[in-house]
Each structure stands twice: as structure tokens, then as C-alpha cells.
Structure 1
Amino acid sequence: MKAKIRRVKDNYMTKGLKIVLTIGLLIVFQEISAQSKLNQSSEFQTEIIDSVYSEVFKEYRKFWVKFPDNYNPNSSVKYPVVYLLDGFSLRENLEEIYDNYWGHYLPHMILIGISNKTNRIRDLTTSQIKMRRGQAMNKETGGAENFTQSIEKELIPYIDNKYPTTTYRTLIGHSYAGLFTINMLVNHKHLFQNYIAIDPSLDWDHQKLLKEAKEKLSLESYKGKSLYVSLAAEQLHMWNEEITMDNIMDDASEFTLFARSIIDFSTFATSQKQNGLNFSWKVYNEDLHGTVPLPTMRDGLIFLFKWYQFKSPQKYNNPETKVEELVKLLEKQEEIYSTHFGYPFPPMIEEMFSGYGYMNLEVGQPEKAFMFFKSNIDYYPNSASAYNSMADYYEAQNDITNALRFVKKAAELSNDEYYKNRIQELKNK
């Protein structure tokens, strides 16, 4: 990014500056992200469609992959993963949420959308049934265990071998896929850390999984696991408008079994504090079954990654905060992240290190700027952008020799013409 560095006079260092700093940081943050996308789009695809052959199903199973904005195929950085069932039909929902909330609310992650078009009901349902809601069930059912085996033994190993992933995984499913998601937590909890069950079909097979889940939630440990469940309550009963959240549990008809099952599960899960499950659920009164995925993904991901949200942002924005205090804050943030992810994790994403560095350059605090730029390189040593930011720092200090040194390093890491042109510009100064 071609940064224009300017200094702000001391008489602007007022209380109102904190607001200006926040706004300025967001602008810089957006510019860095936009430039990163522009540079990367010419080098490799950020979204692809892939497939893996399944011995379980004797067919290729299709999925899509979306890389985070800072993804670099030449880097050693690895990412947590979100797996979305019904991935091709719900793709836009997940991408919209992720694109708007990564950074402060969500870490950079790889998104995987699994296709369930071939035989959806078979793959996602947890037991075989012959009747459903008073009608004959003519479709094949009860294949969830086979689908689970395919995910565990075929899909995940393939993805982990081909893409830069970590073992920190999130699973999202809607309706029958929500039923499948809860089954994964209850019976296969080693595969994922986080789960979002969107309007799950827990009424399936006379609430068979619901009953099993109650037993296991009361007896087993789910420490380190998180689950978010939603219920779309716009139409609790197909034709009786008098059924509301206040009286639905008094109704015993088949028409309310779907909603009652979710309420029953969620109420019970809330009561089981001893099992260590991080659980939350929400009733979406204005949503139908078909509209609830979007708001659930938003609220669910924010809940699952609540611990990720950046601590003490005001201190980072406050020009009076000392460098030493900022360093301690970063150390604490790194500890929080590394503890939750289970492996070493940087205290900031690359874009935030750069953003705070430029912000402090603009307000005439080069010592802080240097700390952020240097930390960026320490945590992201294969990032051309990080070295380029340090070059901006040295250029602002009129140290062209060191500015050239860091731009040359950026050029070594990237074939982007911008860095080559900038080397020449600096040589001409």
C-alpha cells in the first residue's frame, strides 16, 4: 500500500483525538485489506471448488474453499477452519457474515462448504424411519454415521493435507444438518471444537437424538466445546396463531413437535453446567425456517469466538498509553489466543499491526509505530506487506537506507510490481 504519512501537530492531541484515531485506524485497516486483495487476486484464486473421492460412498464429494484475505500460499501460516453443511446453498450467508466480522470479532479462517445435494436426507439423518409427520417416508434415511466416517476419515484428512489448516474446527448445520451437527457434538465431539445448530430437526424419529443427548450431556464432559442453537419462531404452529413461546410447551400436537424439541434440548443443555459445555441459544421471533440461517450464523460465530474479541481497544487508541503497557497487553492477548486455540497464535492479525503502526505515525508517536511494525514482522515474517510497512516507517524518519532494505525484502517475498517500483522511487530520493 502506498501510504501517505503525515504528522499531526501537538495541539490536536485532545480528547476528541481518540475518536479520530479510531476512525483513522478503520480507514487504514480497510485500505490495507483492499490492497491485499488486489495484490493477491492477480497471483492465485482466493475461492476454489474442490472434491475428494469417498470410498464410503463410492463417489466424488464436492466442496468449496474460501481462503482468508491475508492468505499467501508461500507462507507457513495455518488457519482455523469453518465447515458449513449444505455449503453451496448457504454459501452467501456464511461469506457475508465472515467478510463483515473478521478482524475484531473473528480470526482469519478458511471456510469450507460441503455439498449435500446427492442424497441430503440420507446423509444428515441419524436413524432410519418409515413414517414422518403422519406420512410414509419413501426416501433413504439414517446415514449420518456413514457421512460422519466420510468427514472424519476422508474429507478432513484431505483438507488438512492440502490446505494450511489447524485442528481448531467449527461445524455449522441447518435443519437436518442441524440435527447432524448436534449428533457430531454428542457422539463425535473429538472432531470439532465449535458447533452451530440452526433450527435443528430434533423431532426426528420421535426425538431419538434428543433423548440420547440429554443422557450424554448429563454424564459426559464437554469442556472446551461450544454450541449455539437457534429457533425460528415466526411460525411455531402451521395453522394455529394462538400458539406462542409462552404456551407452546403445553401443546402436544405433531405440529409443534419441531419447535418443542429445540426448546426442550436448549432448556436442558442450559441446566447442565457441570459438563463444561459453553452453550447458548436464541429464539428468532421474526424469522422463518428458511430465513434464520443468516442471523444465526452472525450471532453464533460471535458467541463462539467471544473470547477472541480484542481486549482494551481504548488503550491502543489512547495516545497517552505507554509502549511498555502496549507490549504487556499484546502478551496477554497472545496468551488468551494460544490457550483457546491450543497452539501459538499471534496477538493481532497482520492488518491490525499495520493499522496501529500507521495510526501512531500519523499522530507523531514513532516509538509506538516502530513497535507495531516490528511486531508485525516478528509474527508474520513471510509477509511482504509487513516489511513494506516498516519501510514506510523508516521513510517517515528520513532513513532511506533502511527503507530500501525493507522494501527489498518485501520484493524478495512477493513478485508484485509495486515493490519493484518503490525500490526505484527510493533510490531516486
Structure 2
Amino acid sequence: MKRTKLLILTCALFLSTVFAQEKTEKDPDASRLTKQSEPAVTLGKISSLHSKVLDKKIPLSIHLPENYDSSKKTYPVLYMLGSDYRSRFAMLASTIGYMGDGGQIPEMILIGIDLPDGNSILLPKRENQDTTIPDNYINFFETELIPYVDNKYRTARFRILFGGSNSGFFTVYTLLNNPLLFNSYFASSPSIMVVPDVLQQKIKSGPLKTLTENRTLHIIYSDDEGMTEIASEFSSVVEKHKPQSFTYKVDELVNQGHVPATDFTKFLLALYPDYNPYEKLDTLDKVIQHFEMLSKRYGYEIQPPISVLMDLGFDMISSKNLDVAEEIYQYSLEVYPEGKLLYVGMGILRKKQGKHENAKAMFEKALAIDPDFSLAKRWLQRL
């Protein structure tokens, strides 16, 4: 049975649990200032970039994969518009982390672009359809933000743009003006009814028309938003004029409201529909071949996730194929030398082989990487 972990996460987190910051507060019992404990959950940090193109400082919200510092991997980057909406940023960061840990999608870097002036600044002006500001934001992405992120972090050559409502309009607008800037575009309840003539003209005669590289646009909205008719009209224009290399998908949800909470999970599952077909990956060779195929499809190296390798190795232990499990964990630790979960897997294998001292060493290695790793502690206690 396929191991599917679907996350529909609604975060109502205080700012201190989303962005780690040291604070002090008054202790009512001792009448003195004390340092608060570190947040139980840390999902990002605040940064900023001064933009010459926009002539202002742009606040950024950054979320890195859990094992970013200990790995040498490169990661695709998802750019989120409007990350000053903190609970939404927290939901995206949690979803990426959960689905990445579960082997449903690759691990990703999340870059949030705060919009303290409101996301309506990303729209053309309705009176005269002046597109100066959204055009400047596209220029900001291309000449400043993306180069900054690529220089600062280990990024793969795969980028995603996500926006909702007015930011969703900008996502569509960016695709139609500069389709090569991102590999995939997610637009949740996009305000495509604001200036539909601008979009339709871009579809019919803009750079998307001659696109030869693979690009995708996925739109999600709810039936109770009043978008059905305009979305249908927009889709018919897209389908009539889109190039063969362009994949377009639109989903109308039922009674989900504006910018549906479930949109992001659906976006990611549609972008990586066969990332981990668990039933078919029952040998190490099949795992390696599958992720080599995905690497070619998406244009950057995608390594088999730790969770997939761990599960496969544990299945071999359970079926008493210990030599096969040995091969799997040896390969896995070559790929992920700091993979604490894999050391636990190797420790379980050593225990099954009757090599208790070696098993102890494996569990201790996992704890050397993460002293608070409860799974390693429990297996060590069992010895």
C-alpha cells in the first residue's frame, strides 16, 4: 500500500515561533527579567535586500531545509509573494518540510518576499493599465533577487513562483512576460479579472507564444469566489494559443473560499506526481534509476530521499534480506554521510546481525549528529 502523507496544515503561530528571535520578559514570580526559552518551532528568519530597481528595501523571509548546513546538496527554490502574511508563510514552510521529509517532494529553499505596502501594488493600474510597477518587480526578480539567492545559497536550476489573489495575478503576469524566469508558476485565486485585456493580449502575442522549453502554470480557485466564468474564458484563450512545451492546469475547488488553504499541497503534488511511487521502488537499482529519470525531467540532480532509502532498507531487514539491506545502507551513507536516520537504520541492521557493539556505534553516531534524536536514543536503550 502506498505510503502517502498528505498535509493540510493551518498554522496559527505566534511570530516568535515562526521567526527565531531572542527576547526577554518579566518574570512575575521573581520580579526580574529572564530570557525566554527558544521557540519549539522555528520556521524561518528575517532578512532584507535593498533594491535599486524598486528604490527601496525589500524585507525577505527565509526558510532552509532542516539538514541544509550538514548537506552538500543543491535545492530548488520556491519564491512566495506576500510572506508578511506570517501564518501563510508558516504553512508553506511546514508543508515543504513535512512533504520533503516524507519523500513526496524534493526538499526546497523557501524565499518569501514581504509586501508591506499590500499586494495590490503588483497590479497594473486599472485606469490606464499602466504596468510600470509589476514590470519593475519582474526586473527586480531577474536582476537582483534571484542572483542574490543563487550566490548566497546552494540552489538548483529549478525555480517556482507562488502567489495568491493579487500576487497570483502577478504570478500569471510574470509567466506571460518572462516565461523562462521560473520553471513553474503557482497562482491561487489570481485576480485575473482585474485587467483581463492585458493578460489575453500577452497570451496571444507575448513571449509565451514562442516558448520551446518546458514550463507549467497551475491555477487553483474556489467555486464560491465568483471566478468560474472569468477562469473559463482565460483557460480557453490559453488552450487556444499555448505552445506545445507549456503545461496548463486549472482546478476549481468546492466551497474553499478565497486563496484556498489546501492549494499549496495540491500544487506540489501536481508538480511532482510520481516523485515516490513506493510500490514500484522495491530494489536499490529501481530507486537509483527512478531518481535519475526525475533528474533529467526537472533539469537538476535529484537524489533519492533519505526516507525512501530508509524504508527500503528496513523492508529488507523485515524480510530477512540482510545482505541487501547492507548494500542499501552502505550506498545511502555514501550519499548522505550526515544522515542521522540512516545511521539508525544501519544500527538496526547490525543488531539483527548480532553485532551489538557495531550497532551501538551506529546509534551513537546518529546522536553525535543530533544529540536530541529520540529515535536513536530509544534504540540505544534497547541494547
Q: Normalising by structure 1, report the TM-score.
A: 0.70
1:357 matched residue in structure 2: 313
Q: Residues 199 and 192 of structure 1: is their aligned pair in 2 closer, same or farther, counting only changes over 3 Å?
A: same
Mapped pair 1:395 → 2:364: no
Would you say the 8 A contact 2:179–2:208 is kept in 1? no
Maintained 8 Å contact 2:158/2:300: no
Query: Residue 55 of structure 2 corresponds to which residue in structure 1?
Result: 58
Alignment of 1:322-361 (within 5 A): 326-346=283-303, 348-361=304-317
Change in CA separation of 1:374 and 1:298 when aligned onto 2, cut-off 3 Å: same
Aligned length: 344
Q: What displacement does 1:155 show?
A: 1.8
Percent identity for Structure 1 against Structure 2: 22
Quote the residue 1:379 is aligned against. 335
Deviation for aligned residue 1:417: 7.2
Question: What per-residue deviation string (whole Å, max 9, x for no partner) do you get for residues 331-364 of structure 1?
Answer: 3212222112322221x21122123222332342
After the TM superposition, which of the residue ranges 271-280 and 92-101 deviates more from structure 2? 92-101
In the superposition, relative to structure 1, how do residues 148 and 295 fare at CA in structure 2: closer, same or farther (>3 Å)? same
Indicate the structure with greater helix content. 1
Q: Distance in 2 between matches of 1:193 and 1:101?
A: 20
* 1:68 aligned onto 2:65: yes
The Cα shift of 1:278 comes to 1.4
Q: Which residue identity lines up with residue 109 of structure 2 in the other structure? A: I
2:54 maps to amino acid: F
Partner SS for 1:203 = coil
The match for 2:270 is 303
**Pair 233,207 (structure 1): closer, same or farther in 2 beyond 3 Å:** farther
Residue segments in structure 2 that go unaligned for 5+ positions in a row = 6-37
CA 1:141/1:218 → structure 2, altered by over 3 Å: closer, same or farther?
closer
Structure 1 equivalent of residue 114 of structure 2: 115
Provide closer, same or farther for how the CA distance between residues 315 and 199 of structure 1 changes in structure 2, counting only shifts above 3 A.
Answer: closer
Equivalent residues of 1:219, 1:275 under 8 A apart: no
Counterpart residue type for residue 106 of structure 2: P
CA-to-partner distance for each residue in 1:211-261, whole Å, 9 max, x for gaps? 21233377312532111012332142xxxxxxxxxxxxxxxxxxxxx6544
Question: Equivalent of 2:170, from 180, 194, 214?
Answer: 180
> Is the Cα contact below 8 Å between 1:46 and 1:68 reproduced in 2?
no
Q: Which residue of 1 aligns with 2:125?
A: 128
Aligned to 2:23: none
1:84 aligns with 2:80: yes
**Structure 1 residue ranges without an equivalent (≥5):** 1-18, 27-40, 133-139, 237-257
**How far did 1:158 drift?**
2.1
Alpha-carbon distance in structure 1 between the residues aligned to 2:178 and 2:196:
22
Q: Highest relative contact order (Cα 8 Å, sep 6+), 1 or 2?
A: 1
Question: Per the alignment, do residues 97 and 402 of structure 1 end up closer, same or farther by CA in structure 2, a change over 3 Å counting?
Answer: closer
Q: How far apart, CA to CA, are the structure 1 residues paired with 2:212 and 2:95?
A: 27
Query: Aligned match of 2:261 in 260, 285, 294?
Result: 294
For the aligned residue pairs, the C-alpha RMSD in angstroms reads 3.4
Cα distance, 1:196 vs structure 2: 0.9
Is 2:147 aligned against 1:157?
yes
| Whole-angstrom distance in 2 between the partners of 1:386 and 1:287 | 40
Question: Is 1:173–1:197's contact at 8 Å kept on the other side of the alignment?
Answer: yes
Give the 4+ runs in structure 1 shifted more than 6 A: none
Structure 2 distance, partners of 1:302, 1:219, is: 27
Cα deviation, 1:262-312, whole Å, max 9, x if unaligned, reads: 322212323456431111111224233x2x33232222221122242x23x
Which residue does the alignment assign to 1:416?
Answer: 371
